[in-house]
Amino acid sequence: MLLLSEKDIKKVFTMKEAIEADKVAFKLVVEDKAQAPIRTNIQAPKYDGSFLFMPAYVEDMDLASLKIVNIFPRNIEKGKPTAPAQVLLIDGTTGEIIAILDGTYVTKLRTGAASGVAFDILSKNDCKIGALIGTGSQAEAQLEAMVNVRDLDEVRVYDLNYERTVDFVEKMRKELSEFRTKIIAVKISDEAVDNADLLITVTPSTKPVFDGNKIKKGATVSCVGAYQHHMQEMDPVLLTRASKIYFDSKEAVLSESGDILIPLEKGIISEKDFTGEIGDVILGNVISRENDDEIIVFETVGVATQDLVVANEIYKKALKANVGKIWE
């Protein structure tokens, strides 16, 4: 069994590779080639936390996986990851665990890469300004994915805690120094989204974190954080203005995401407003952006197939590079 830490993974795997791996995963989802039951969610209300168990199996790949990811938002106050996790990669021919990967980092990669996929195939080619709302543990990879797929002049970052926002921006300026994009901390949400071509929200908020009326024509918005029914980052107004609405998995989103479920229940939108799944766009079965004025919304809650595909690509590269530790 191969043990792979975050440091090991960074030696052999990039965000660009994660974006391409997510594209494969999203295609497997819509082709019905992956068994990935909706995650098991066990609440830990004493700590505002939840334990999530996410299995997947792809027969054509002879692989299975299980991710254990625990969401504890209060960890940010302790300087700890808000989503600690491990991914088990399993040989589908023998049932043996062949690798254990740092699931916290795998989750960051594949979740950030989902926004990268959406922006790569749904956003305008000529994007200049990005916006990021949220600076938790998932935010770094979200920002990295954004600047990987579009050559932006600047990205504005907003969080409820301005001091934390400044610290985040300083860190990311160093980590993403290879990109020409200017990363800026702002004090209000409106300032972040003003004239933004791309917007990512990645927070545990239970109320909208931006004004949907202020999103410009032509913008592409990726909402990442609302993985439970009571969570709602997106202003429902945006859904009424959007030309197209896409999901990573319709089944998963309609089982979990308050961003979509709450407006559905209130009658603000209906299922006829949904355009389709991102995997079908990649396959050419569903239409993509048709002009530069359309507002596009992408809602993602994450699917276990992403973990399986990304973990397998990392595993293969690590074996080739002789990276990681063998546990016999």
Residues with a catalytic annotation lie at 67
Q: Which amino acid is at 59?
A: E
> Which residues on neighbouring strands pair with residue 89, listed in sequence order?
65, 99
Contact 229, 306 (CB under 8 A): no
Tell how many helices (H) and how many strands (E) occur in the chain: 11, 15
Q: Quickly list H helices, the chain.
A: 6-12, 15-30, 103-122, 139-149, 162-175, 189-193, 236-241, 250-256, 258-265, 278-283, 304-321
**How many residues can be counted in the chain?**
328
CB 151 within 8 A of CB 180: yes
Sequence-ordered list of residues with C-beta below 8 angstroms from that of 162, at least 6 positions apart, any chain = 185, 187
SS3 call for 310:
helix
- Which are the contacts of 20, defined by CB distance < 8 A and separation ≥ 6? none
CB-CB contact of 308 with 65 (8 Å) = yes
Q: Are strands 198-201 and 220-223 parallel, antiparallel or unpaired?
A: parallel
Closest-CA residue to 23 (of 310, 315, 328): 310
